[in-house]
Amino acid sequence: MSTLKNIHYLNLSEQDKKNLDKSAGMYAANANITFKVLKVDDDELVIEVRQGKNASDKYQNTSGLVDRGKKLFSHFYPDHDIHIRPKPYQRPPADNVTPEWIQKRMNDRKISLKQIEGTTSIDKTNLSAWINGKRPMSQPVKAMFYFMLKSNK
């Protein structure tokens, strides 16, 4: 299976498609950057370049994604105008949840630990450990607190 979406749109030899897909696969494996062919014609190529969450926690900005996309495709399409539609990674709001964030919102909204326990059925010992920073929060725990305490403006 190809790591480059819509590779079948490209008018390249099978060997060139394999080489291009292999190069795209390196970006996917190392930085979770994916490529999708949106449009191909006689003199123009439009590619979406998207970065998702990755283990190294290092992300490209818009210009970095544009550079990588042009670098990858210009070798195979030197006479085409290559237009890149970058989609940089955006951290989910739940990533910003910290014990301090939780404590502030609980105080602002006058929400008690007992209320959270009643709503979630999670015992107060675990809740207290997360809220006081004694136990690290997993992503699902951060998401739970985020949706429970986010501002409803």
DSSP state of 8: G
Residue 127 forms part of a structural domain? yes
71 and 30, same domain (yes or no): yes
The enclosing domain of 64 has a CATH number of 3.30.300
Q: What is the pLDDT of residue 2?
A: 73
pLDDT in tens, 9-61: 999 999 999 999 999 999 999 999 999 999 999 999 999 999 999 988 899 99
DSSP labels, 43-108: SEEEEEEEE---TT-----HHHHHHHHHHHHHTT-TTSEEEEEEE-----GGGG--HHHHHHHHHH
pLDDT for 150? 87
32 plus 104 within the same structural domain: no
Q: How far is CA 29 from CA 10, 33, 61, 66, 101, in A?
A: 22, 8, 18, 18, 34
Q: Is 39 inside any structural domain? A: yes
One domain for residues 13 and 75:
yes
- Give whole-number Cα distances, 112 to 92, 103, 132, in Å: 26, 10, 14
Collapsing DSSP to helix, strand or coil, 138 comes out as coil
Q: Is the pTM above the cut of 0.85?
A: no
Mean pLDDT across 93-112: 94
Could you list the residue range(s) of the whole structural domain that residue 34 is in?
A: 7-87
pLDDT at 153 over 70: no
The answer to whether residue 1 sits within a structural domain is no
CA dihedral 142, 143, 147, 148 (to 10 degrees): -40
Q: What is the pLDDT of residues 106-137, one digit of tens each?
A: 999 999 999 999 999 999 999 999 999 999 99
Is position 2 within any domain? no
Same domain, 54 and 112: no
Q: 78 and 101 share a domain? A: no
What confidence tier does 1 reach under pLDDT thresholds 50, 70, 90?
low
- Statement: residue 148 has pLDDT above 60: yes
